[in-house]
Amino acid sequence: MKTVQEWVDLYNSDEFKNRYLYQGDDLGARCSIGLTTIKLWSPVADAVTVNFYKDGEPTTRPYWTSPMRQGNQGVWEWNIHESLNGTYYDFTVTIDGVSQRTGDPYAKATGINGLRSMVLDLHDTTPADWGNDKPPIPESEQIIDEIHVKEFSWHPAGGWPADVRGKYKALTVDSTYINNDGIHPTGLAFLKQMGITHVQLMPIYDYGTVDETGDDNQFNWGYDPVNYNVPDGSYATDAHHGEVRIRELKEAIQAIHRQGLGVIMDVVYNHTWNLDNPLQKTMPYYFYRTWPDGNLSNGSGCGNDIASERPMVEKYITDSVMYWAREYHIDGFRFDLMGLLTVDLMNRIRNKLDEKYGAGVKLVYGEPWAADKTAVGETIKLADKGNFADLSDHVGMFCDDTRDTIKGSAGDTRATGFVNGADGVEGKLLSCVTGWCHDGSAIHNPAQIINYVSAHDNQTLWDKLTSTTLDVDLRRRQYRLAAAIYMTCQGRLFMLSGESFCRTKGGHTNSHDAPIEINQLDWSKIIDEQDMVDYYRGLIALRKQLPGLYDKSPTAHTRIGNTWSQPGVVGYMVDNTDDNSSSPWEYLCIVYNRNQDGCNVELGEGDWEVLATGHDSWLWQNPQVVQGHYEVEPVNWVMLGQRHEESH
């Protein structure tokens, strides 16, 4: 058997790259009436046999085996003039004299735990009226809520029927209420009521750490891919029949669209669960980065890194994204550890989506960092913050600088930010306001910035502030101030589901495999935190009326002017006009005060309306008019607006 370095030398040779780049879009299994074809890319294989099974259970034996024929560009082919729809299969692949059983890396359907692949006519998984399923009508702003299928619908207070809790099916239940009270909506209806425009689904592809035949109480976030193009069966009502998970996920997406919400898929193309998978078994070390000593690269912190710079890996990932967009009507993609993927790959994905669906229509953004150094050559540009200027203007990034400036480092539970006492961050906060855009910046427009203060990683916002602020009343004022700041910064808005009702995980900093009881969304807290819920809802409703904040053009930052700061206080003016005069306020004045003392703000001439404060985000509906100056209370903020007819 070749050494790791011998495999790498082979793959890096020009001869291999030129001879074995396959451009077709037909890898995997396809079937229709009267025809089934299976194709596998494995140019290093000596022989490949396809094995067929009646079911997807890992213990059954094949009822039929058949050799595959080697074609051009390293593609092995097999076909028969009949439909094998519903049949399961895997391969016996012989490489360097060693034979292994493996699933199909290009599978679109699988059996239990993704071990057996499945021949499936995808038309059989189409829900009723799927052809009329449409993404939501674009709004002035995109506000993204991150949910996990199981977390979202597991708690009994959420009102879902017991047989669909934690499943794709839960997302199809149109009306759910806290303890079925008929008064307080939960689930998608709650998100719609809040003004959310998109849900970001944490991993829904087939992943390895939850046994699909095991107890329903198992839990994992799912950042451990096995089959990239197959929905995970643990969220299906029946994981034993491969078509069920596909149909039920499509029904869930259809239901989300009916609520007027877009669907963003959290994708993890930077690493796999382990190397016991079809990618490695069919192409040893082709899909993985290695160091010269043969050890696997581990920039992901998860044991391995995907080699996205190799031509057929780049094609694999791009084709996968396009498949999810086409087959499942996905509206956007969030890339985990995007800083491990190449700039070329991200731009290729962006261009392909734009060509198919229109420029910027499908959202694309990710984490512009990695967990550690990865094994790539110096000429390879990775999609991290250092190379952000080379990325398409329609590729966005999570802004950890804004997150940490507002509330303190996510990696240090005791670290503070502006709202909870850090000194000397006022200048950074003014950069947050413009989405870090300025002349000469690598950030070309605010559309590239995802503003947030909490996500599945690290502590929730409530838990973070609990770590730094013991006084509960003060913590609540800091919480409201933090929300106000990121919702008044230019860029896109993102929040962890449940943030609006002070979600807690008991201080956990990494709950990826913690019990579901810790991770579940406790919907009953809506009642306890109704004031906070209303506050978030008002901020979102106001944000959507302010072109000075939701402007995504390259010149948006020039709307921000007359900036000033002093210790613990930041203020600025916003040009809020647009061609349609869509907002009643021509100018905005925004001031953040984290100090324990009030702050007197001198205003320009004319009448100013108080639109929102830390006490009430709905003041804009019946605003108080002030002149000359305004006193911002301790640990509070204010947004004032001046109408078009007033002089500035």
Parallel, antiparallel or unpaired: strands 88-95 and 98-102: antiparallel
The pLDDT value recorded for residue 486 is 98
Give dist(CA 450, CA 332) in Å, integer: 14
Cα–Cα nearest to 290, from 315, 311, 307, 268? 307
Q: What pTM, to 2 d.p., does this model score?
A: 0.97
Q: Strand, coil or helix: what is 496?
A: strand
Beta-sheet pairing, 585-593 with 608-613: unpaired
What is the distance in angstroms between the CA of the first residue and the CA of the last residue of the chain? 77
Determine the pLDDT at residue 264.
98
Residue 240: CB atoms within 10 Å: 14
pLDDT < 50 stretches in the chain = 646-648
CA dihedral (163, 165, 166, 168) positive or negative: positive
Task: Write down the pLDDT at residue 581.
Answer: 86
How many residues does the structure list for the chain? 648
pLDDT at 336: 98
Asked whether 310 and 336 are in contact (CB, 8 A), the reply is no
Q: What is the pLDDT of residue 647?
A: 40
Rounded to 10 deg, the angle between the 187-194 and 530-543 helix axes is: 50
Query: Rounded to an integer, what distance in angstroms lies between the CA atom of residue 435 and that of residue 445?
Result: 8
- The CA distance from 407 to 400, in Å, is 11
pLDDT one-digit tens code per residue, 461-513: 999 999 999 999 999 999 999 999 999 999 999 999 999 999 999 999 999 99
Question: 17: helix, coil or strand?
Answer: helix
Of residues 367, 384, 426, 499, which has the active-site annotation? 367
606 contacts 648 by C-beta, under 8 angstroms: yes
Q: Which of 227, 239, 243, 322 is nearest to 282 (CA)?
A: 227
DSSP for residue 171: G
SS3 for 316-348 is HHHHHHHHHHHHHCCCEEEECCHHHCEHHHHHH
DSSP string, 351-398: HHHHHHH-TTTSEEEE----SS-----TTPPBSSGGGGGGS-TT-EEE
The distance from CA 223 to its chain's CA centroid, rounded to whole angstroms, is 12
Residue-level pLDDT at 644: 81
Distances (CA, A) of 332 to 161, 262, 418, 467, 620: 29, 8, 32, 34, 32
> Torsions phi, psi of 133, nearest 5?
-70, 130
Residues 6+ apart with CB under 8 A from 464: 407, 408, 410, 413, 454, 458
- CB crowding 553-568: b at 16 or more within 10 Å, else e: eeebbebbeeeeeeeb
Contact 364, 333 (CB under 8 A): yes
Q: Express the helix, strand and coil content of the chain in percent, nearest 5 each.
A: 30, 25, 45
Active-site choice (336, 463, 499, 586): 336
Please confirm, yes or no, whether 605 is among the known catalytic residues. Answer: no
- What's the rounded Cα separation, in Å, for the pair 589 and 416? 26
What is the structure's pLDDT at 645? Answer: 72
Distance CA 154, CA 252 (A): 16
What is the pLDDT at residue 648?
41
- C-beta separation of 521 from 158 below 8 A: yes
- Is 473 one of the catalytic residues? no
Query: Could you tell me where the beta strands, DSSP code E, fall in 455-531?
Result: 492-496
Q: Which residues of 521-550 are buried (b: 16+ CB within 10 A; e: fewer)?
A: bbbbbbeebeebbebbbbbbebbbbbbbbb
Query: How does pLDDT run across 564-586, given as a tens digit for each residue?
Result: 999 999 999 999 999 888 899 99
Q: Are 45 and 94 in contact (CB under 8 A)?
A: yes
The amino acid present at 333, given as its one-letter code, is: F
In degrees and rounded to multiples of 5, residue 335 shows phi and psi of -100, 115
Is 370 in contact with 300 (CB distance < 8 Å)?
yes
CA 57 to CA 76: how far, in whole Å? 25
Ordered by where they begin, the domains of the chain are: 4-120 (2.60.40.10), 558-643 (2.60.40.1180)
